Amino acid sequence: MVLACGVDFGTSNSTVGWARPGQPALLALEDGKPTLPSAVFFNADDDTVHYGRAALAEYLEGYEGRLMRSLKSLLGTSLIEGQTEVAGRALPFRMLLTQFIGELKRRGEREAGRAFRHAVFGRPVFFVDGDPEADRLAEETLAGIARAVGFEEVGFQYEPIAAAFDYESRIGQEELVLVADIGGGTSDFSLVRLSPERAGRAERRDDILASGGVHIGGTDFDKYLSLAAVMPLLGYGSMLLSGAQVPSSYYYNLATWHTINQAYTRKSVAQLDELVRDAAEPAKLQRLCRLVEDRAGHWLALQVEEAKIGLSSAAAVDMALDRLAPPAVLPVTRAQFDGAAAELVESVAATVAQLLRDAMVQPGQVDTIFFTGGSSGVTALRERIAALLPAARKVEGDLFGSIGSGLALDAARRFG
């Protein structure tokens, strides 16, 4: 048995994989499930820390405290060197990530019944678009955190390549595959030659024709849906008596997972109180103020996320916004979502088209599109990618587990 694991630290969900003959690679991390939502809740009522589904449940049950989600989005930004306040104490963001990844390691080892000394971590093709130095620092930061929690050796693998390894374990002949990994924070693609014969090779560099990615993922779709459908109820796009528009920064903070807590600062609250007096539609701004006072921004983001997921299989959904004052039921249609996300979809499609050009591959040469990542269920995005390769088979992997399983296989090859 190898003492190496694969760690998929995701923007929305995380997994730990361990390659064992004849057994599933992914280890159960919470309530028998292989995924642990990438969320931490600091419960101020009893001074405890909760992770994953338990963190979200504690927050939604109304306990006083601080919810943190989309932790991976901090990598590659200046925020990683900053800090936030939790229960009156300063908490460096780097320490926050260390706590979460340490918890992933502990849970994986508990389930496996042994310690893991080595790990292969997944990483997006680009942590940061167009900034190689920031991208390098993001990987170095994650490697340092991994070593700090007890991994002696740490390797990295592009997340779509890891997903390709998982898919390769189930095919019977050679295929040229476009792996489309649409996660919570990034959309990553790799064009790879896969086959049962190639699977045993330790070196796969020649099988990878091209990789590319863009910093667009599920949380961006959440944000644009929120701004288009929900934030107007709170005054987004409305006017002040002076004729100026209400500043948009409050709404962007509330619509973006990793900046929601910035809406709760004393300065922000004081500014909102002043805006109410100057608003042409004060009732909308008062609703925003009450939402901020109740620290219900994460609750609202969860409702938007659920609506996005619902629109993957339905033409319309109703958002029950019962914590707004007054409460509201907001109908949202897929057409509305598609319109809000159109620019994001085209940016992702342009990334795929460039990838094919880089690889000097014609669309008709691609045998299969392998979709993975929780956000690959966004209908407009999936259809747009498929339209670029109309002759290719469309295969759906384990949306939340393919990367972790592939990382486990890669860890076994590297360290086994």
What does DSSP say about strands 13-17 and 65-69: parallel, antiparallel, or unpaired? unpaired
Give the pLDDT of residue 365: 97
- Angle formed by the axes of helices 402-415 and 159-168, to 10°? 90
Give the pLDDT of residue 3: 86
Give the pLDDT of residue 130: 87
pTM of the model: 0.89
**H or E element in which residue 402 lies:** helix 402-415
Query: What residues does 101 pair with on adjacent strands?
Result: none
Enter the CATH code of domain 4-172+399-415.
Answer: 3.30.420.40
Q: In b/e form, how buried is each residue of 60-70, taking b as 16+ CB within 10 angstroms?
A: eeebebbbbbb
**Span of 83-92, 188-197, 249-258, 357-366 with lowest mean pLDDT:** 83-92
Cα angle: 102, vertex 103, 108; to 5 degrees: 100
Residue 263: burial class (beta carbons within 10 Å; 0-12, 13-18, 19+): buried
The closest of 109, 75, 107, 110 to 94, measured between CA atoms, is: 75
Average confidence (pLDDT) over 113-120: 96
Q: What's the pLDDT tens digit per position in 286-318?
A: 999 999 999 999 999 999 999 999 999 999 999
Q: In b/e form, how buried is each residue of 114-153, taking b as 16+ CB within 10 angstroms?
A: eebebbbbbbbbbbbbeeeebbebbbebbbebbeebebee
Q: What's the pLDDT tens digit per position in 60-74?
A: 888 989 999 999 999
Cα separations (Å) of 149 from 30, 138, 321, 330, 397? Answer: 20, 17, 40, 44, 30
Q: Which residues contact 56 (CB under 8 A, 6 or more apart)?
A: 37, 39, 41, 67, 302
Q: What's the pLDDT tens digit per position in 180-212?
A: 999 999 999 999 999 999 987 778 889 999 999
Positive or negative CA dihedral for 408, 164, 221, 311? negative
Instruction: Compute the mean pLDDT over every residue in the chain, rounded to the nearest whole number.
Output: 94
41 and 49 Cβ atoms separated by less than 8 Å:
yes
Grouping H, G, I as helix, E, B as strand and the rest as coil, residue 341 is helix
pLDDT band for position 21 (cuts 50, 70, 90):
confident
* Residues 353, 358: Cα–Cα separation, whole Å: 9
Domain residue ranges in the chain: 4-172+399-415, 219-338
Share of the chain above pLDDT 90, in %: 88
Q: What's the pLDDT tens digit per position in 162-183?
A: 999 999 999 999 999 999 999 9
Tokens of 345: 């979809």
- DSSP structure string for 125-176: S-SSTT-HHHHHHHHHHHHHHHHHTT-SEEEEEEHHHHHHHHHHTT-SS-EE
Find tokens 């926050």 and name the residue.
96
Give the pLDDT of residue 1: 63
